[in-house]
Amino acid sequence: EVGLNIRRQHSHEGAEVLSRPAVVTVMGHVDHGKTSLLDALRQTSVAAKEAGGITQHLGAFVVGMPSGASITFLDTPGHAAFSAMRARGAAVTDIVVLVVAADDGVMPQTLEAISHAKAANVPIVVAINKCDKPAANPERVKIQLASEGLQLEEMGGDIQVVEVSAVKKTGLDSLEEALLLQADMMDLKARVDGPAQAYVVEARLDKGRGPLATAIVKAGTLVCGQHVVVGREWGRIRAIRDMLGKLTEAAKPAMPVEIEGLKGLPMAGDDIIVVDSEERARMLSEGRRRKAEKDRLRKINEGRTEVEEESEDMPKRVEMPIIVKADVQGTVQAVTDALKTLNSPQVFVNVVHVGVGPISQSDVDLAQACGACIVGFNIKSPPSTVIQVATRANIKIVLHRVIYHLLEDIGNLIVDKAPGTFETRVAGEAEVLNIFELKGRSKSKGDDVKIAGCRVIDGRFTKSSTMRLLRSGEVVFEGSCASLKREKQDVETVGKGNECGLVICDCDDFQVGDVIQCLEQVIRKPKFISSESGAVRIEC
């Protein structure tokens, strides 16, 4: 109400702090086997062991080790989900498993994953996958990784490398052991008592049970019956189920659980906080909704005002409407966020619609209605009927599986579309050596004129350009060129080293020693810039 943002500090003081299991995310290039590896690991999970191997994808699973230790794996592969969660403040991942196919080596998304892990300061354990393949060459992968700056253990660094095969299920125990070792080194601890601080890793709507959220507790204990606020939603926890689907009373740190009883569907990355009463829960969720709505409107307005604030000499800012379709919600968010980084003073990237799943007829209809292009990330090609309609309507469809390539494509489209800025460039410089006066000879020829006898000392002079007169470095006059002559001959241009006679419209104030600059107008287009870290931007 008073415009302050207050964040609850979770204090560990006086509380019991105990070791907790590590939370692991699997990342890597498409088709390198992230899903297969997660499937294989899930087979070794506690749930699979108890349920005879049949498990559901629930957002997370726990693998128990013979020593009694355990590891929690987040079940959504890919860095898109990882970075979308992180962008929303949900830093739940402790360790990243970087999957690299032994037969394919380091690829663009491998590098992206490394950048994401580094940016989040999360240690990496490398899993070289597909080691069963005849073309597998783990040594080559290691050299590639080392040359990307990863300090691998066998080369004296601290990043562990494990060779696995997700299909043949080999090396999985070594991977789990490596993860435990990494977790040990990190000495992960969490407060156990007190109100829980937790994050949603996945949410779904169940016909019978209503909104269900898979949550990971970061600290404290989540207890059945508590009132919670989850992102913008709220509810009273009616039931907590562990990953086996068994009801439990409470959830402790790093334990993935499914909670039931929320009034609405939260989003991956939402935080879960415990409050004292239903009244507070309602109030907080209402406040968050209002804030989200205000932020949304502000963002739209920001875009608008920037568009409206064109002054006369500024080029127009054009709009680039985009529709984003991707495989899962987390990716949609990540792609949308990434596209917005391409916003520039000249082209406004307006994501008009986002969605999960393949590109459909209705996407094409919408694109046609607002002149948008359609971006598909990590999805299959649309059916040929849809492609035909899009082609006929001249709608561009851009499909990619690597975010960098997508941004590069869209960046180039933006550069094409940008109006560019007019820029004044000094094309030539001359010094005034002498001044000649021509007295007004007849009325038809006009008034007296002063001619500057100059030598071009740099660049070249063009008659059609604007001239600028400088005295001791100060601009004293600017005007168009009335006449440019070389030895009594009218000329269009005079090059460096040559002498010429120059008349500037309405200027009769030349002095010997003045400098005259010939100014040219050029249109400068924006540039698509990418840095080594994978960050991109449009520079105007």
- Interface ranges with ligand GDP (CB under 6 A): 28, 30-36, 77, 129-130, 132-133, 165-167
| Closest CB 101 distance from ligand GDP, rounded Å | 7
Cross-strand pairs, 527 = 539
User: Is residue 230 a contact partner of residue 271, using CB atoms and an 8 Å limit?
Assistant: yes
Task: Pick between residue 142 and residue 317 the one whose CB is nearest to ligand GDP.
Answer: 142
DSSP for 249-279 reads SEE-TT-EEEEEEESS---TT-EEEEES-HH
| DSSP structure class, residue 153 | G
Task: Pick between residue 76 and residue 343 the one whose CB is nearest to ligand GDP.
Answer: 76
Pairing of strands 222-223, 250-251: antiparallel
Task: Pick between residue 130 and residue 218 the one whose CB is nearest to ligand GDP.
Answer: 130
| Closest CB 109 distance from ligand GDP, rounded Å | 9
| Closest CB 293 distance from ligand GDP, rounded Å | 36
Task: Pick between residue 35 and residue 226 the one whose CB is nearest to ligand GDP.
Answer: 35
Residue 143's CB is within 10 A of a number of other CB atoms, namely 15
Task: Pick between residue 101 and residue 188 the one whose CB is nearest to ligand GDP.
Answer: 101
Q: How far apart are CA 100 and CA 103, in angstroms?
A: 9
Q: How far apart are CA 133 and CA 156, in angstroms?
A: 28
| Closest CB 150 distance from ligand GDP, rounded Å | 19
Two tokens, residue 181: 């070792």
Task: Pick between residue 100 and residue 503 the one whose CB is nearest to ligand GDP.
Answer: 100
Instruction: Tell me which residue of 337, 336, 333, 340 sits closest to 303, measured CA to CA.
Output: 340
Two tokens, residue 394: 């001249």
Helix (H) or strand (E) run with residue 385 in it: helix 384-392
Task: Pick between residue 32 and residue 241 the one whose CB is nearest to ligand GDP.
Answer: 32
User: Is residue 203 a contact partner of residue 271, using CB atoms and an 8 Å limit?
Assistant: no
| Closest CB 84 distance from ligand GDP, rounded Å | 17
| DSSP structure class, residue 152 | B
Two tokens, residue 419: 């109006």
Task: Pick between residue 175 and residue 323 the one whose CB is nearest to ligand GDP.
Answer: 175
Residue 44's CB is within 10 A of a number of other CB atoms, namely 17
| Closest CB 18 distance from ligand GDP, rounded Å | 34
Q: How far apart are CA 485 and CA 489, in angstroms?
A: 5
| Closest CB 329 distance from ligand GDP, rounded Å | 17
The beta-strand segments (E) located in 371-496 are 373-377, 397-400, 421-438, 449-459, 461-462, 466-471, 474-486, 489-490, 493-494
Task: Pick between residue 37 and residue 395 the one whose CB is nearest to ligand GDP.
Answer: 37
| Closest CB 34 distance from ligand GDP, rounded Å | 3
| Closest CB 131 distance from ligand GDP, rounded Å | 7
What's the first-to-final CA gap in the chain, in angstroms? 39
**Torsional class of 251: left (φ above 0), alpha (ψ -120 to 50), beta (otherwise):** beta
Task: Pick between residue 103 and residue 363 the one whose CB is nearest to ligand GDP.
Answer: 103
| Closest CB 77 distance from ligand GDP, rounded Å | 5
Q: How far apart are CA 144 and CA 132, in angstroms?
A: 20
Two tokens, residue 273: 């906080």
| Closest CB 165 distance from ligand GDP, rounded Å | 4
**C-alpha to C-alpha distances, 266 to 70, 200, 235, 256, nearest whole angstrom:** 27, 8, 11, 16
User: Is residue 433 a contact partner of residue 453, using CB atoms and an 8 Å limit?
Assistant: yes
| Closest CB 325 distance from ligand GDP, rounded Å | 18
Task: Pick between residue 348 and residue 377 the one whose CB is nearest to ligand GDP.
Answer: 377
Task: Pick between residue 179 and residue 366 the one whose CB is nearest to ligand GDP.
Answer: 179
Residue of minimal Cβ distance to ligand GDP: 33
Instruction: Tell me which residue of 430, 435, 489, 436 sits closest to 465, measured CA to CA.
Output: 430
User: Is residue 418 a contact partner of residue 539, using CB atoms and an 8 Å limit?
Assistant: no
